Amino acid sequence: MKLKNKALLKKNSYIHGKWLHSKKEFPVTNPYNSDIIAQVTNHGKEETNQAIAAAAEAFKIWSKFSASKRSKILKNWRKLQLENLEDLATILTTEQGKPLAEARGEIKYGASFVEWFAAEALRVYGDVIPGHMANKRITVIKQAVGVVGAITPWNFPSAMISRKVAPALAAGCTVVIKPSELTPLSALALAQLAEEAGMPSGVFNVVCGTDAAAIGQEMCSNPELRKISFTGSTRVGKILLSQSADTIKKVSLELGGNAPFIVFDDADVDKAVEACISSKFRNAGQTCICTNRILVHKSIHDSFVEKLAIKIKALKVGSGLDVETEVGPMINTAAIKSVSALLENAIQEGANISEGGHLIKDQLFEPTLVVNATKDMDLFKKEIFGPIAAVYKFETEQEAIELANDTKYGLAAYFFGSDYRRIWRVSEALEYGMVGINTAMISTTLAPFGGVKESGFGREGSKYGMDEYLNIKYMAWDV
């Protein structure tokens, strides 16, 4: 891996300001060719406990820093991320697989949260409430929760750390991060830059390891860790929520999705097709908010499918480091098996493959278009998490809403149309935390990201994101 700043390629956990080595290691591989990139220290429950203890000790200092001092350090961290953009993107693409252009976008996206919350650190306001008696005064202040455990996924190994850690640090919390064992190098590079930015020892900790269950359980059961923020599967989210119950932690969960993409008969079809391509095939379809079920009004179905097929066929598939690549490899063989099983089920149930449908090599799966899909298929019920676009027909507005809501998930939804009255009706009827109207680009620092139902709870980003890391304290005064 060619890097200008070789100090960014770290292979050890970062605990209490030190890079801790162990004889136990695990390989990190390139999804495109399965080459081993690095052997990374394999830590577990004991090291997680050490990291929490270090964070708890550092919290006594960091939480007492002035908001402006914390803000300045966060700004330094953001500046270093952007200065090392190419190296961070190269590390990300090499261990995760997404095209380099997407990796650059992810680094910038993550840095935007650091910038936002560096400013929000200065705006943690309280209240003075009129007293209930003449000699009573009521004040309300907000204080940092304490030590935060951030468990982050492989599909956005850099941005999901920045999005969680920036508000936590801005609020005065300290953090212990458990990155995915598939993509730990991006997390360790951010730790290196956090150290360079001036974060005191113990404020920013990264524990790398393959025993995610043991690390997660230690985070959930340790009373010194007061908040869990998790992005990942609904199955694991439920386990973490249950394990956190005994210590009554604050918990934020951003879990699975099954996003509908509704195209009404009065939609701009060309615009809808372009948006569908960007939403469905970004990161090879491996995003929690990517389009999962394409619901198209029967009167424009054939036109939409024809145009979508042309766009899908033109997508360039290959190594993420190749500048022409638009769709990179899937993360591992387990992911390939999962999408292959979904595709096989759909064919058995009567669906047809209009484009793609084959494994090109190793973990490169062709962008695929499935037509004649029905709601009885696994493609409709499950999160695909791969480059398969399945199209379904509907006839009425109510049918589209019912199909869209026919899932246990409720993260993101999209629809295209021009009738402003229908826009309001459908937006309010969709059971999702986020709705894109004539757009599929909804992720931004300025808006609250999160879902409902079994897609989790809590919000990341915007002014609401800071509240997840703060406790409200009411003080009664007798004057």
Residues designated as active site = 254, 288
| 154-183: pLDDT as tens digits | 999 999 999 999 999 999 999 999 999 999
Residues 6+ apart with CB under 8 A from 72: 118
Angle subtended at Cα 187 by Cα 185 and Cα 190, rounded to the nearest 5 degrees: 110
Percent of the chain whose predicted confidence (pLDDT) is above 90: 99
Our count of domains for the chain comes to 2
Mean pLDDT of 251-268: 98
CA atoms within 13 A on the CB side of 286: 27
Evaluate whether residue 244 is within a structural domain: yes
Rounded Cα distance, 40 and 11, in Å: 5
| 329-350: pLDDT as tens digits | 999 999 999 999 999 999 999 9
Using DSSP bridges, classify how beta strands 412-416 and 204-206 pair: parallel, antiparallel or unpaired: unpaired
| Same domain? 158 vs 193 | yes
Mean pLDDT of 73-84: 98
Q: How many other CB atoms sit within 10 Å of the CB of residue 6?
A: 9
Mean pLDDT of 30-50: 97
| Same domain? 294 vs 225 | no
Q: 74: domain range?
A: 6-256+454-478
Evaluate whether residue 449 is within a structural domain: no
Rounded Cα distance, 42 and 27, in Å: 9
Helical H segments across 127-183, by residue range: 159-171
| Same domain? 417 vs 468 | no
pLDDT at 172: 98
Q: Where residue 371 sits, what CATH number does that domain have?
A: 3.40.309.10
| Same domain? 250 vs 263 | no
Mean pLDDT of 81-96: 98
pLDDT at 334: 96
pLDDT level of residue 362 (50, 70, 90 thresholds): confident
Evaluate whether residue 372 is within a structural domain: yes
Mean pLDDT of 64-78: 98
| Residue 70 and residue 172 in contact, taking contact as beta carbons nearer than 8 Å | yes
| Same domain? 357 vs 288 | yes
| Same domain? 215 vs 302 | no
CA atoms within 13 A on the CB side of 16: 11
| Same domain? 271 vs 379 | yes
If you average pLDDT over every residue of the chain, what do you get? 97
pLDDT level of residue 358 (50, 70, 90 thresholds): very high
Query: Is residue 472 predicted with pLDDT exceeding 90?
Result: yes
Evaluate whether residue 161 is within a structural domain: yes
Mean pLDDT of 221-244: 98
| 120-164: pLDDT as tens digits | 999 999 999 999 999 999 999 999 999 999 999 999 999 999 999
C-alpha distances (whole Å) from 409 to each of 112, 275, 282, 435 are 28, 21, 20, 13
Evaluate whether residue 439 is within a structural domain: yes
Q: Where residue 462 sits, what CATH number does that domain have?
A: 3.40.605.10
- For residue 123, the one-letter residue type is R
Rounded Cα distance, 129 and 133, in Å: 12
| 190-208: pLDDT as tens digits | 999 999 999 999 999 999 9
Q: Check residue 362 and report its DSSP letter.
A: T
Evaluate whether residue 384 is within a structural domain: yes
CA dihedral 360, 364, 369, 370 (to 10 degrees): 90
Evaluate whether residue 281 is within a structural domain: yes
| Residue 468 and residue 252 in contact, taking contact as beta carbons nearer than 8 Å | yes
| Same domain? 329 vs 366 | yes
Evaluate whether residue 213 is within a structural domain: yes
Residue among 102, 88, 79 nearest 189 (CA): 88
C-alpha distances (whole Å) from 189 to each of 9, 85, 158, 176, 230 are 6, 11, 9, 15, 20
pLDDT at 174: 98
| Same domain? 79 vs 163 | yes
| 289-316: pLDDT as tens digits | 999 999 999 999 999 999 999 999 999 9
| Same domain? 84 vs 95 | yes
| Same domain? 143 vs 219 | yes
| Same domain? 241 vs 113 | yes
pLDDT level of residue 479 (50, 70, 90 thresholds): very high
pLDDT at 374: 97
pTM for the whole thing? 0.96
